[in-house]
Amino acid sequence: MDILKNLKERYAVKLFNKEKIVSEADKEKLIEIWLLSPSSFWLQPWRFVIVESLEYKKKLRKAAFWQPQTQNSTFAIILCRIDDYSEKNFINPYIDDLVKKRWKTHEELADYKQVMLDYLFKMTKQELDAWAKAQVYIALWNMITSATTMWLDTCPMEWFNPELLEKHFSLKEKWLVPCVLLTVWYRDEKDFYAKEEKVRYDKDDMILRL
């Protein structure tokens, strides 16, 4: 695998191949990779809503201002940030998971927990929201890159009606806020953008070497 070649050929696909569907095995492999996305303190302040059924794809398309990628892809993901940063519902479950999986005690993790609390709870709610959304975008790039390495195509989408998404997918009840959408499938070679030259600034304009 030449990841540089893959990324040079990657673009935000607009037209998907209806005859070629992402296999169940590849989808599950992607999900496993996505769950390995890095995050600050490993807190994973996100949830991913996988949209596969035609019923929910139609709802997603309506919320995304009728953009066809939402309905024509094999599946779509609503990447959400959490909206409950309380010690009880956010920090404690993670500490419990550390205890379970790393054979630590709560006493051994007390200092680490306090570091997290000191860092997070010095922020305002607005700052916490921005922090959590930044973590979501780390996961988004992992999703895009990992799909690319499997020659799967994606289209990230930030243009949607959050109120409709919250309503149709009951996100508020789950304390979730939608941040970005991602559709996954194989490109149709008739897609106009598939043959377009990739436009990026030159290396010397973007990189500062000190």
32-53: pLDDT as tens digits: 999 999 999 999 999 999 999 9
Confidence of residue 196 (pLDDT cuts 50, 70, 90): confident
Is 1's pLDDT higher than 80? no
* Residue 210's pLDDT band (cuts 50, 70, 90): very high
SS (H, E, C) the chain: CCHHHHHHHCCECCCECCCCCCCHHHHHHHHHHHCCCCCHHHCCCEEEEEECCHHHHHHHHHHCCCCCHHHHCCEEEEEEEECCCCHHHHHHHHHHHHHHHHCCCCCCCHHHHHHHHHHHCCCCHHHHHHHHHHHHHHHHHHHHHHHHHCCCEEEEECCCCHHHHHHHCCCHHHCEEEEEEEEEECECCCCHHHHCCCCCCCHHHHCCCC
Confidence of residue 195 (pLDDT cuts 50, 70, 90): confident
Instruction: Tell me the C-alpha to C-alpha distance, in Å, between residue 94 and each of 33, 98, 194.
Output: 19, 6, 42
pLDDT tens for each residue of 82-135: 999 999 999 999 999 999 999 899 999 999 999 999 999 999 999 999 999 999
Domain 3-86+125-188 has CATH 3.40.109.10: yes
Residue 160: band (very low, low, confident or very high) from pLDDT cuts 50, 70, 90:
very high
Domain ranges, ordered by start, for the chain: 3-86+125-188
Given the structure tokens 């050929």, which residue do they identify? 9
Which candidate, 114, 117, 186, places its Cα nearest to that of 153?
Answer: 186
pLDDT digits (tens, 9 = 90+) for 60-86: 999 999 999 998 889 999 999 999 999
CA distance 43 to 193: 37
26: exposed, middle or buried (C-beta count within 10 Å: 0-12, 13-18, 19+)? middle
As a whole number, the mean pLDDT across the chain is 95
Among 5-9, 110-114, 185-189, top mean pLDDT goes to: 110-114
- Taking 90 as the threshold, does the pLDDT of residue 193 lie above it? no
List the structure tokens of 125.
């709610």
Quick one: pLDDT at residue 126?
Answer: 97
What local confidence, expressed as pLDDT, does residue 65 receive? 96
162 pLDDT higher than 80: yes
